[in-house]
């Protein structure tokens, strides 16, 4: 598989001829270039792009190393108004993850004024595209915040309710959520759920 951090300009040729393409042709070209360097990920890339266009969230189920995070990064390349450095947020969740790591640290300056406000720039509430890996390992405090962000595109920051610019959230795990842990509501927020498989020995990738 081609080495790629997902942040490079992977389709300069497309940009030159974009204006002459129909919508359907444009979508085919975008999918083609988003798949550049990937093998056997056409369906996952296409559905990730579809979820972003629809403003919905997508869940990837698959083993580590199956390009789940790379697919999410690549989606940022399909939108003109997304800065791949400032508008993309990615985080690997674990059972000890705190809201500070996802939503931003509490502002000490505001805290001195008796205001509990988070500095959200560079974190999930300010992102347009986000990827949360191993999402089911996170705690209830984070999951409850995610429900509001995904469903209402809002973030309660102190006394203010801020509008979240999130276009699409991609989440991933190598396991399904456990039953009776209160994860059903968040699971329902992922309209699209895709299995991302590793490269198969039967695929032409191994044919010399």
Per-residue pLDDT of the chain (208 residues; tens, 9 = 90+): 334 555 445 444 445 555 566 777 888 888 888 888 888 889 999 999 999 989 899 999 999 888 898 998 888 888 878 877 789 999 999 888 888 999 999 999 999 999 999 999 999 999 999 999 999 988 777 888 888 899 889 999 988 999 999 998 999 999 998 888 778 888 999 989 999 988 776 555 555 5
Query: In terms of Cα–Cα distance, which of 96, 101, 61, 66 is closest to 195?
Result: 61
How many CA atoms lie less than 13 Å away from 142 in the CB half-sphere? 22
Look at residue 7 in the predicted model and tell me its pLDDT. 47
Residue 58 confidence (pLDDT):
95
Which pLDDT score, from 0 to 100, does residue 198 have? Answer: 84
pTM: 0.81
Half-sphere exposure of 68 (CA within 13 A, CB side): 30
- Write down the pLDDT at residue 142: 85
Is 74 exposed, middle or buried, given 0-12, 13-18 or 19+ CB atoms closer than 10 A?
buried
pLDDT at position 17, please? 54
Q: Pairing mode, if any, of strands 58-61 and 192-195?
A: parallel
């Amino acid at each position: 598989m081609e080495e790629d951090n997902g942040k490079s300009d992977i389709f300069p040729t497309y940009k030159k001829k974009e204006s002459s393409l129909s919508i359907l042709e444009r979508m085919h070209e975008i999918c083609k270039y988003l798949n550049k360097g990937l093998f056997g990920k056409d369906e996952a890339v296409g559905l990730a792009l579809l979820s972003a266009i629809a403003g919905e969230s997508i869940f990837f189920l698959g083993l580590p190393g199956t390009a789940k995070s790379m697919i999410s990064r690549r989606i940022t390349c399909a939108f003109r108004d997304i800065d791949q450095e400032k508008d993309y947020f990615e985080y690997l969740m674990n059972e000890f993850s705190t809201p500070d790591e996802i939503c931003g640290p509490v502002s000490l300056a505001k805290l001195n004024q008796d205001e509990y406000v988070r500095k959200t720039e560079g974190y999930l509430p300010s992102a347009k595209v986000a990827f949360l890996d191993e999402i089911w390992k996170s705690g209830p405090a984070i999951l409850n915040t995610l429900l509001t962000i995904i469903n209402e595109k809002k973030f309660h920051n102190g006394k203010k309710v801020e509008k979240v610019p999130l276009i699409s959230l991609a989440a991933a795990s190598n396991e399904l959520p456990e039953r009776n842990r209160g994860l059903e509501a968040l699971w329902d927020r992922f309209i699209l759920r895709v299995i991302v498989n590793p490269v198969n020995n039967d695929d032409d990738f191994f044919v010399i």
